Amino acid sequence: MASAARSRVALPALALVVLPLAAVAAALVSQHRFGMLPCPWCVLQRLVFVAIAVAALPALLLRTPWTVRLGAGLALLLSLAGAAAALWQHFVASSAASCNLTLADRIMAATGLDQAFPSVFAAWASCADAAVKLFGLPYEFWSLALFAGLAVLSLVLLRRPAAAGR
């Protein structure tokens, strides 16, 4: 019975690891292949996607009740934060002339990731300049949709871990 419960956790946990990393990979292809330069809010969302994958990794690998709860709980909070960042980018930052020294810019500078991994985490455009559409929808709405989906997957996992220890 325990192995059946552990396997019910595997697919949502795997999705919480793979989907956010695929989103970052897609963003990097957009940037480096198609010249869609990211703004500070874009790279902050990349960081949140990576953090979701890292948070979910113990749930995927260990599948114990507490690692599943912890990973799913962190992934849920991060997904909500990422959704807030995507909404802020669309409704506030994209209409601003500059996004220098915004919260996103300060967070990325504080992590040092923009200096350590500039090809992934450095912002190269203002939020207004980075406002592009993909298949008719603003890029940040695609990000928002994925954050919403990841939040749902996190909730699914939060409902399943009690059975994982049986």
Dist. CA 91–CA 144, nearest whole Å: 12
Please report the pLDDT score of residue 163 as a whole number.
44
Which range among 38-42, 65-69, 101-105 shows the weakest confidence by mean pLDDT? 101-105
Please report the pLDDT score of residue 128 as a whole number.
75
Say how far residue 149 (Cα) sits from the centre of its chain.
Answer: 11
Give domain limits for the chain: 2-164
Q: What is the pLDDT of residues 108-118, one digit of tens each?
A: 999 999 999 99
- Here the tokens at position 129 are 């300049």
* 20, 32, 37, 50, 122 from 43: Cα distances, Å: 13, 14, 10, 11, 7
Q: Is the pLDDT of residue 34 over 50?
A: yes
Four-way CATH pick for 2-164: 1.20.1550.10, 2.60.120.10, 3.10.20.30, 3.40.50.150: 1.20.1550.10
Which DSSP category does 138 fall into?
A: E
